[in-house]
Amino acid sequence: MTPQRRVPDRARRSEATRQAILNAALELVSEVGYARLSIEGIAARAGAGKQTIYRWWPSKGAVLFDALLALSQGGDEESGELPDTGDLEADLKAVLRATAGELNDPRYSEPMRALTVEILVDPALAADYNERLEKPVRELKQRRLRSAQEAGQLSPGLDLDVAVEMLWGPVRNRWLHREGPLTEDFVDVVVETALQGLKAPDTPEGAVEGAAERADSPGGDG
């Protein structure tokens, strides 16, 4: 009986090649910087053909973007809903502290900084970034703020798009422009300061939490 030949698993081989390319892009941008990063260099490091890379990505910026997306998958706040414990200030501090930690991580920091600059000059990459990352993550942030708004913790007429910028903008700007250390203390002050202007008017401090506690008590409403 003639032994059967094993059919090559092209999908598995393609995925392994793709992952090697993404890993090579992250390694090289950390070693040589974005300006010296090239498709040729990525191909050589990954052991892949240059045409293979161009078949999957239009530019080195696009490769780097996919590499960062792959690196960030695995459980941070961008992969699911933001925490909603009922304590808006504590939830926002936890999320922004995690954001600061990621931005301070050398694995993310320099590639993300390079990608941010490249987006300014590559409209196609900017559109892809907005559609696949910026827009969905912004919607997650807005949903958490909308939940607080519906609970009476934020002003009912609040522009949630502006509120997101007030909370996340200072953190991103300090990191991008290297204006100072991105510490948890700084993040906490950003949240506290922003919430002073975003809270619902004429709502005493702790009134929402107090009302919830009264409602849950034996003598409370309902």
pLDDT at 172: 95
pLDDT at 221: 45
Which range among 74-83, 92-101, 188-197 shows the weakest confidence by mean pLDDT?
A: 74-83
The residue ranges of every structural domain in the chain are: 13-61, 74-203
Domain 13-61: CATH architecture, name and number where available: Orthogonal Bundle (1.10)
pLDDT at 106: 87
Which range among 81-85, 166-170, 215-219 shows the weakest confidence by mean pLDDT?
A: 215-219
Do the domains at 13-61 and 74-203 have one common CATH topology? no
* Residue 199, φ and ψ in degrees, nearest 5: -65, 155
Contacts of 206 (CB under 8 A, 6+ apart): none
* Token pair belonging to 215: 């409602």
pLDDT at 107: 85
Say if residue 203's pLDDT is above 80: no
Q: Which CATH superfamily groups domain 74-203? A: Tetracycline Repressor, domain 2 (1.10.357.10)
Report d(CA 216, CA 37) in Å as an integer.
59
Report d(CA 10, CA 6) in Å as an integer.
12
Which range among 49-53, 128-132, 196-200, 204-208 shows the weakest confidence by mean pLDDT?
A: 204-208
Q: What is the pLDDT of residues 164-185, one digit of tens each?
A: 999 999 999 999 999 899 999 9
* Token pair belonging to 80: 């699911």
Say if residue 187's pLDDT is above 70: yes
Q: What is the pLDDT of residues 93-149, one digit of tens each?
A: 999 999 999 999 988 888 999 999 899 999 999 999 999 999 999 999 999 999 999
Report d(CA 45, CA 39) in Å as an integer.
10
